[in-house]
Amino acid sequence: MKAESKYTAYCGLYCGDCIPFNQPLFDTAEKLREELQKQQFDKYVGLKAKENPVLNDYETFVRVLSSLIELRCRKICRENGGKPDCKIRDCAREKGVEGCWECSDFEGCELLKPLSGYHGDTLKNNLRLIKKYGIENWADKRGKHYVWNNTK
């Protein structure tokens, strides 16, 4: 199976573009958390906060870091990665389709709408590309993944 097929989610997104699938990012976050614990950094910060009051927010930082790490996706969509209860994946599997691009209702699909906040028109554009070029030949034509990305 070509990477284009393997990394193409049922919804038409490309897993390799997704922040939660950025393994080096999450490896770094986990290493930072481990090193902070190993060094007992909370105790150090407790002393340093007298000189630098922003360090009083260290506990919040650790909670945010832990929450960020929980966003990690270790598997691709087609291997049940991503959101465990993905209604889009469930729908495609129930319909017996390879992805939403094979469904005649994808243009107005209610299940896809919540993703537009992150992905804008990219999702539907990707689905149109996959429908036109096929799952193995579309990925190099895909657009930006997130609405805040400035480049392809």
Q: What is the mean pLDDT of residues 38-47?
A: 97
102-132: burial string, b at 16+ Cβ within 10 Å, e else: bbeebeebebbeebeeebbebbbbbbbbbbe
What residue spans of 39-100 are helical by DSSP H?
41-48, 58-70, 87-95
User: Are the C-beta atoms of 143 and 152 separated by less than 8 Å?
Assistant: yes
Contact, 115 vs 144, CB < 8 A? no
Predicted pLDDT at 3:
76
- Sorting pLDDT into bands at 50, 70 and 90, what band is 89? very high
Mean pLDDT over 58-71 rounds to 97
Q: Is the pLDDT of residue 136 over 70?
A: yes
For the chain, give the mean pLDDT: 93
Alpha-carbon distance of 118 to 139, in angstroms, equals 19
- Give this prediction's pTM: 0.83
DSSP state of 21: G
pLDDT score of 144 more than 90 = no
Write out pLDDT tens, residues 32-41: 999 999 999 9
For the chain, give the number of residues: 152
Q: What is the pLDDT of residue 151?
A: 55
Average pLDDT score over residue span 64-68: 98
The mean per-residue pLDDT over the stretch 89-99 comes to 96
pLDDT confidence of residue 5: 87
Q: How far apart are CA 20 and CA 133, in angstroms?
A: 27
